[in-house]
Amino acid sequence: MTDPVPGLGRPDARIRALIVEDEPLSRRALHQLLSRHPDVEILGECRDGVEAADALEAIRPDVMFLDIRMPERSGLEVARAAARAGVAPLIVYVTAFDEFAVPAFETDAVDYLLKPVTEDRFDAALQRVRDRLALQARAQARTAEPPRYADRLRVHVRGGELLIATEAVDYIAADDVYARLHAAGKRYLMRVTLDALQRELDPVDFVRVHRSYIVRIDRIAAVQRQPNGNRAMRLTSGARIPVSRRRRQVVDEVLATRRVG
């Protein structure tokens, strides 16, 4: 027996399978063939293409063992619709008709099994599923790198550009469609929006406190209540920054782990 596929994004790494077959005897046969493999979890069985479409959206299986000729909607139609909707699992077609092989593989099928299916042939198809899932898992692992945040920001000065270390930043304010960076008592123009800057800055170090302000967290000296019920921040530089009502909870959560007055 082959070991379970690693790295499928779930603690038990089991292969989640859906059976789609209109004939009861064939459904039972597929269920028995799958039940022999401890690394497979059978999520459900569907009797036609309509049930299959609903199940795909609800349970998102890893693989679908799919008949082709079925009432309401054919297996090929189910596969094509799922691909268009972005919910397509791996597909192993199980059918009594060999004339659909070409269009089946055009839907990127993993395998095409002809009934009656032997254990050896079924196991070979399942191994192909394991191999394909393992490839997908490795590809996801390569792309799942932690985000890289900027450690320097490019600003515009007379005669050219300058790089300012993010550690030197006190806060950044919106300036019309651009932004104005404040660091060590100086101001620098940045030809970028505040929204774009927020995506570049490490949320461990910076927090958006207002639609017009991003503040470096370790520059916050105090958060003060105003007579009108609003709040404002006092920075170590002496600058005062408003805190908007809609961002108050985020600010509170960020500062909960900091000793800020």
* Domain CATH code at residue 36: 3.40.50.2300
Same domain for 50 and 19: yes
pLDDT at 131: 93
pLDDT at 246: 86
Task: Let me know: does 14 contact 39? Beta carbons within 8 Å.
Answer: yes
User: Is 3 domain-assigned?
Assistant: no
Task: Using the 3D structure, point to which of 101, 126, 143 is the last residue of a domain.
Answer: 143
Task: Please give the residue range of the domain that contains residue 24.
Answer: 15-143
Task: Using the 3D structure, point to which of 94, 124, 143 is the last residue of a domain.
Answer: 143
Task: Let me know: does 180 contact 188? Beta carbons within 8 Å.
Answer: yes
Same domain for 85 and 40: yes
Same domain for 187 and 84: no
Nearest to 41 by CA among 4, 76, 6, 68: 4
User: Is 5 domain-assigned?
Assistant: no
Helix, strand or coil, per DSSP, at residue 116: coil
Nearest to 90 by CA among 132, 135, 32: 132
Same domain for 134 and 156: no
Same domain for 214 and 128: no
CA angle 199, 201, 204 (to 5 degrees): 115
Count of structural domains, the chain = 2
Task: Using the 3D structure, point to which of 88, 122, 143 is the last residue of a domain.
Answer: 143
Q: Chain-centre distance of CA 14, in angstroms?
A: 20
- One digit per residue, pLDDT tens: the chain, 261 residues? 343 444 444 445 789 999 999 999 999 999 999 999 999 999 999 999 899 988 998 889 999 999 998 888 888 999 988 888 888 899 999 998 888 787 777 788 899 999 999 999 999 999 999 999 988 888 777 766 677 899 999 998 888 889 999 999 999 999 988 999 999 999 999 999 999 999 999 999 999 999 999 999 999 999 888 888 788 999 999 999 999 988 888 888 887 776 555
